[in-house]
Amino acid sequence: MEQVPTSSAAPAARPVENVRLGILSMLLAMVLMTIMNALAKILAETYPLGEVTFFRNLFALLPAVAMVVAAGGRSCLHTTHWQGHLWRAVIGLASMVLLFWAYHLMPLANAVAISYSAPLFLTALSVPLLGEKVGAFRWGAVVVGFAGVLIMVQPGPDMIDRGAIVALTAAVCYALAMIAMRQLGRTEKPVTTVFYFTVISTALSALALPFDWITPDAHALTLMAGMGIAGGGAQYFSTRAYSLARAVVVGPFSYASLIYATILGWLVWGDVPAAHVMIGAAIVIASGLLILYRETRRAAAPAPQVDSCPNTQAQSAGPVRTA
């Protein structure tokens, strides 16, 4: 899922609020995201990460194009911020590759739980990079959240394992990608950002193919197509969820991905998260919800605008992933 937008359009420029449909859209987005993650984990056992990432982005172009058509067509693709889109794609692609690697190195639910630390990094990095003011309340939530991360990764004399390091690095990259989306969101529409991210990421990930390639058979190609379409579909339905209801309503439901990942990890790989992982994840989720609550309360009402291509600004602290 690529971004977690809240409304910045005038009331007339957005659909009528439909809380039930917004929640259902978010839950469906998390199901699709979990399916994508599981398929990436399966494929990474046989195929190079670069190749898996390429096909994830290639097949995600189908939902991305559908988003553009649904949002008004070619008018949504106009941009003068190519450097911003390029940087957002580069850092988002890095997050995606690292997250896929983390799925390969550790149980799916563990990697998903650690990736929930991204909103904490986002809040901390927004001070030096965006010049935002973070009050004592949100700093307290960040500190508590990082305590939860420490509980999950359990650093000791031998340091944390490689999978946890990779997952944490992916979370930092995702936070940087969210900052890039916030900067782009001042002028760009979410559908524009999603489309150019998918196109540029497909092109960039293709550069690695000549160096590490295993020709997929029909079965693997089907899984790759399912992975890409599920990832693109997750982006579509998460964007739709935030256009149908307020972030404070639908945002918490994005954490359902941990439940889905835990169930799927147990059914497919027999993985059961350790107690310390679940405790740490609960603390991180609670801190993320507190940040989400404060973000929603402090959000200022923007100037009205009328546009055939709806604009929803990425502001929330929810854990929707670039992968």
- Is the pLDDT higher at 252 or at 147? 147
Nearest to 290 by CA among 145, 174, 182: 145
Bridge partners of 313, per DSSP, are 6
Full-model pTM: 0.82
Residue 247, classified by CB atoms within 10 Å of its CB into exposed (0-12), middle (13-18) or buried (19+), is: buried
Say what the pLDDT of residue 245 is. 78
Say what the pLDDT of residue 4 is. 44
pLDDT tops 80 at residue 154: no
CA–CA separation, 318 vs 122, rounded Å?
A: 11
pLDDT tops 70 at residue 257: yes
- Is the pLDDT higher at 317 or at 77? 77
pLDDT tens digits, residue range 164-222?
A: 899 999 999 998 988 888 888 788 888 888 899 999 999 999 999 999 999 999 999 99
pLDDT tens digits, residue range 55-91?
A: 999 999 999 998 889 888 888 888 888 999 999 999 9
- Is the pLDDT higher at 318 or at 295? 295
Helix (H) or strand (E) holding 7: strand 5-7
